[in-house]
Amino acid sequence: MLRHVRNAWSGAFWLLFSSQAALGAEVNDNRDKLDDDPTKVTTKVGVSWSDTYDMDDSNLSFSGSVALDPAKKLNARVNSDASEWRVGGSWLFPVGIVNFNFGKNEYTNGATQTNYSIGTFVPLSYFGFAPAGFQIFPMAGYTYNTGEITGCSTGNAADCKAPQFADGIPSEYGFSTITTSGSSGYLGAFTLRPLTPDITMIGFAAGSYGSKNEKGENYRGYFGGLGAGYRFDEHSSVNLLTFVMDNNTYLDDPDTRFLISYTWQFQ
């Protein structure tokens, strides 16, 4: 799944090195941040349920984070049958947060993807920029992917035509499982807008571009979503989101979903 230019690799390292100079500065107090602030370092557990609008690909996931100190945390997520998972860590600096992750995704067409990524969120409010109360977090990162897709074993799509098969296309029609790998970078923004002390609007969008896939095309993709969060108290909150993602390597058509999640924060 929820679910993300090669030059972003050097950009991510630039952030790492430039942030080292800020280690001695005071880290922003996590207690002053919104529950969905991507730079918030806290210990929490959560559960989420998502599905397509056709209600044909339900997914139940469990997640958690453990704060090691005010600036570092470990993160993990796994779905109910462990077919999708992600583990990693985050390191908060005064100018933003750096996230390291590796994990596995499955798509509605049966394709699978294992990814290794480094990414960052930078709060523009740190620089005093929060127009009309919007908290904007530019995000960027680099991902290396390996995976399996169903494709034409001859490498020529004209040799493999079986439109009557929607799932499980048999090998005698020329289709087989193809291993693919590549790298890509993404660039986008995550936005929060408090509407009341308890309700926050959530939005995000990003595009990605990378190395050539098995078809000889450069990897291209996008994802974006919109929703809202409600805070019951200092510990518990719920989110309702709708989002879409697509790419030209692992998906045949855009994957449009809705998601409901509940989170409990310990600190």
For residues 192 and 135, what is the distance between their CA atoms, to the nearest angstrom? 5
For residues 259 and 42, what is the distance between their CA atoms, to the nearest angstrom? 22
pTM of the predicted protein model: 0.79
Confidence of residue 32 (pLDDT cuts 50, 70, 90): confident
For residues 218 and 119, what is the distance between their CA atoms, to the nearest angstrom? 21
b/e burial code for range 21-53 (CB count within 10 A of at least 16 → b): eeeeeeebebeebbbbbbbbbbebebebebeee
Give me the domains of the chain, ranges plus CATH numbers. 8-265 (2.40.160.40)
- Cβ pair 206, 213 in contact under 8 A: no
Length of the chain: 267
For residues 240 and 220, what is the distance between their CA atoms, to the nearest angstrom? 27
Q: Calculate the CA dihedral of residues 30, 33, 35, 41 and round it to 10 degrees.
A: -30
DSSP helix/strand/coil, 6: coil
pLDDT in tens, 186-201: 999 999 999 999 999 9
pLDDT in tens, 141-186: 999 988 776 666 555 555 555 544 444 444 444 455 677 788 999 9
